[in-house]
Copies of this chain bind each other. A is one copy, B any other.
Amino acid sequence: MRTFKLTLAYDGTNYCGWQIQTSQVTLQETLERTLTKITGEEIRVAASGRTDAGVHAWGQVVSFASQTHLEPPVLHKALNAELPLDMVVRSVAEVDADFHARRSAKRKRYRYVIDDGPERNVFELRYAWQCPVRLDAQAMHLAAQPLVGQHDFSSFETSGSQRETSVRTVFELTVERGQGGDRVTVEIEADGFLYNMVRTIVGTLVEVGRGARTADWPAHVLEARDRKAAGKTAPPQGLFLVGVIYE
């Protein structure tokens, strides 16, 4: 048995998220079907984490075991020839047998893109949250800083999920207005994320950005440890899994 690590980019628009579901097309199912076609084996993959319907990835990481004799560059070419156009393998490597895309991950980085131009941007409908109100990106950045560090993020977790702990460490959280002028980008790197954590943090920061809440509000939301204290969950299409960091 050999173990492989794939780095994958995808446009999540046309998929019902990462994880296999009955009777709906998912990214995992599409990748596994393609790997089975190429290797002739029944392959099951492990991803660094699931992404929801409509969420994109630039650097999703996947691991799987296979008895294939194909070398990584051959596997790489074959995958990109067989995968649908909206999925692409960026790299393939053979790794130690103990590598696991989710369990070995040390940090993950997400980006959330908001377009707050005066009219909707027709070229960003699938890749940004179209926000009709001009945002104060600097106020959002300052308001976000109390979330950096090790905290209980249960205020930013969609209820119903079952985790041993809702304590996570955020290493970096920045909000910046991009060159174009109408684009606000939130970047967040952490040792792990609760369900909908990035989208709920973004929904909360946007309340500050549009002036509905003061800059100290996100810190109070964090302290409340109650999902009802936070803002709305931002829509999926602005969210990108940028990359996963391993040791």
Contacts and interface: CB of A to CB of B under 8 A. Distances in A.
A119 interface: yes
- Secondary structure at the A interface, as helix, strand, loop or mixed, is loop
A123 B88 contact: no
Nearest to A10: B122
A87 B122 CA distance: 6
Interface residues of A, number: 18
Interface string A199-223: 0000000000000000000000000
Interface string A72-97: 00000000100001111110000000
A133 interface: no
B127 A85 contact: no
A85 B125 contact: yes
Nearest to A8: B122
Contacts of A121: 9, 88
A120 B90 contact: no
A123 B89 contact: no
Contacts of A87: 122
A127 B125 CA distance: 13
A86 B120 CA distance: 9
Given A80-B120, A119-B80, A120-B80, A11 B88 contact: no
A56 interface: yes
Interface in A9-66: 9-11, 56
Contacts of A120: 80, 85, 88
A154 B133 CA distance: 48
A10 B80 CA distance: 30
A9, A85, A123 pick with most chain B CB within 10 angstroms: A123
